[in-house]
C-alpha cells in the first residue's frame, strides 16, 4: 500500500480486510511484525489520540517512530510558497519533509484546514502539496477535508458493538461549539457510514449544510453499498430509530472563511447539544459517538 489518504480509495473488500487485520492484531499482537521499521510523524497541527495511538502501535509491532512538530521541537516550519522567509519560521517544508522522510520507511502527516477558502480546502491542496514532497508510503492523519484513520477506527467500533450495517441508521448531527471547526471529520464520517451501507442522515441547522461535493461523494458510496444519504434540519425525524448519534461541530459553509460572521451566525444555537431527550425515539440500543476532544456540557 503506497498511500492511506482516503477511505474511498479502497474497495469494500479491502476495507473489510483492514478491519479483520486490526481485529486479529488486537487479539493476537505480532511484536516483531514491523521490526526495524521507522514511522516518521509530522504534526503541523495538534493531536492527542492520533499521536499517542500511532506511537503505541509502532512499539507494539516492534518498530519505532519519531515526531516532528513545530510547537514541540523546532522553530517553526514555513508552508507557504514564493515568500521571503524573514519571519519566525526557520525552515521550509520543501527542505524539511524530504529530510524527515529520508529517516522513515513511511510518513504520517497531519495538517488541518486553513478555513479561509472553501474550494481550496475541499481540494485538499495544502495537504497534497505536502505529501507530494516525499516518495515513501504516506498516511493521512487528518487533512483539510479528510480523516481516514478516524473513520476506519469508527467503523471498527461499530463492528465491535454489533451496530447494523445495511438497514442501520446513522445520524451525523451538528453540535454547538464556540469555535469554527474544520470539515475533515464530518466529511470523512458521512462517507464512512455510507460505505458501511447505513442509512445516513446529516442533521444540521440551516446554514450548516455540508458542501455538495461532500454529499455527492457519500451518496455515490451509498449507491455501491446499499445505503442512503440525506440531509435535514428536522431533529425529530432525523433521530427517530437512530442506531448511532454521532455529534460533531463544523464551520458554517455559508460563512466559510469569515470567523466573526460564523460566530454571529451560530449564536443562539446552544440548544444543539446532545442530551438524554435526543435518545427518546432512537433505537433502544442506540449509541452516542464523538471523535474527541469533546467539550462537556457544550456539545
Question: Domains, the chain, ranges and CATH?
Answer: 31-140 (3.40.50.1370), 149-289 (3.40.50.1370)
Work out the average pLDDT over 113-131: 94
Other CB atoms within 10 Å distance of the CB of residue 33:
12
pLDDT digits (tens, 9 = 90+) for 151-208: 999 999 999 999 999 999 999 999 999 999 999 999 999 999 999 999 999 999 999 9
pLDDT of residue 210: 98
* Cα(222)–Cα(192) distance, integer angstroms: 9
- pLDDT tens-place string over residues 68-92: 988 765 677 888 888 899 888 888 9
pLDDT digits (tens, 9 = 90+) for 279-297: 999 999 999 999 999 888 8
Contact 58, 34 (CB under 8 A): yes
In angstroms, the CA 138 to CA 145 distance is 16
Q: Which of 125, 139, 141 is nearest to 3 (CA)?
A: 139
Residue (of 182, 132, 174) closest to 290 by Cα position: 174
Give dist(CA 95, CA 97) in Å, integer.
6
Q: Which 3 state secondary structure label does DSSP give 207?
A: coil
Q: What pLDDT score was predicted for residue 298?
A: 81
Question: Within 10 Å of residue 252's Cβ, how many Cβ atoms?
Answer: 21
Identify the pLDDT of residue 72.
65
Q: SS3 for 15-80, per residue?
A: HHHHHHHHHHHHHCCCCCCCCCCEEEEEECCCCCHHHHHHHHHHHHCCCEEEEECCCCCCCCEECC
- The pair phi, psi for residue 3, each rounded to 5°, is -155, 135
Cell triple for 244: 448511532
* Mean pLDDT value of segment 27-51: 95
Q: For residue 83, what pLDDT is reported?
A: 87
Question: Which triple of cell numbers denotes residue 52?
Answer: 499517542
Instruction: Tell me how far apart the alpha carbons of residues 103 and 80 are, in angstroms, rounded to a whole number.
Output: 24
Query: What SS3 state is found at 265?
Result: helix
The b-or-e profile of 55-67 (16+ CB within 10 A means b, else e) is beebeebebebeb
H/E element, 189 = helix 184-195
Please state, in angstroms and rounded to a whole number, the distance separating the CA atoms of residues 27 and 197.
26
Q: How far apart are CA 56 and CA 79, in angstroms?
A: 28
**CB neighbour list of residue 194: distance below 8 Å, 6 or more residues apart:** 200, 218, 219, 221, 222, 225, 227, 228, 229
Phi, psi values for residue 256, rounded to 5°: -60, 130
Q: What is the largest CA-CA distance in the chain?
A: 60
Amino acid at each position: 500500500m503506497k498511500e492511506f489518504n482516503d477511505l474511498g480509495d479502497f474497495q469494500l473488500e479491502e476495507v473489510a480486510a483492514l478491519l479483520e487485520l486490526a481485529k486479529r492484531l488486537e487479539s493476537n499482537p505480532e511484536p516483531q511484525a514491523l521490526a526495524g521499521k521507522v514511522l516518521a510523524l509530522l504534526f503541523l497541527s495538534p493531536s492527542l489520540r492520533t499521536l499517542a495511538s500511532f506511537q503505541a502501535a509502532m512499539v507494539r509491532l516492534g518498530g519505532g517512530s519519531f515526531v516532528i512538530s513545530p510547537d514541540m521541537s523546532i522553530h517553526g516550519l514555513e508552508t507557504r510558497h514564493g515568500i521571503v522567509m524573514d519571519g519566525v519560521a526557520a525552515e521550509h517544508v520543501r527542505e524539511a519533509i524530504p529530510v524527515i522522510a529520508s529517516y522513515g520507511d513511511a510518513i504520517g502527516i497531519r495538517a488541518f484546514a486553513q478555513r479561509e477558502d472553501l474550494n481550496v480546502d475541499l481540494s485538499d491542496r495544502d495537504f497534497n502539496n505536502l505529501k507530494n514532497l516525499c516518495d515513501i508510503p504516506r498516511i493521512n492523519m487528518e487533512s483539510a477535508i479528510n480523516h481516514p484513520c478516524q473513520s476506519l477506527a469508527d467503523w471498527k467500533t461499530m463492528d465491535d458493538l454489533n451496530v447494523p450495517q445495511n438497514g442501520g441508521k446513522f445520524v451525523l448531527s451538528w453540535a454547538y461549539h464556540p469555535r469554527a471547526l474544520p470539515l475533515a471529520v464530518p466529511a470523512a464520517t458521512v462517507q464512512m457510514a455510507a460505505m458501511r451501507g447505513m442509512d445516513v442522515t446529516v442533521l444540521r441547522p440551516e446554514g450548516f449544510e455540508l458542501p455538495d461535493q461532500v454529499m455527492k461523494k457519500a451518496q455515490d458510496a451509498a449507491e455501491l453499498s446499499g445505503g442512503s444519504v440525506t440531509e435535514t434540519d428536522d431533529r425529530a425525524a432525523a433521530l427517530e430509530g437512530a442506531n448511532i448519534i454521532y455529534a460533531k461541530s463544523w464551520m458554517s459553509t455559508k460563512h466559510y472563511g469569515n470567523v466573526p460572521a460564523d460566530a454571529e451566525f451560530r449564536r443562539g444555537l446552544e440548544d444543539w447539544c446532545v442530551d438524554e431527550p435526543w435518545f427518546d425515539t432512537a433505537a433502544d440500543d442506540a449509541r452516542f459517538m464523538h471523535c474527541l476532544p469533546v467539550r462537556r456540557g457544550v456539545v
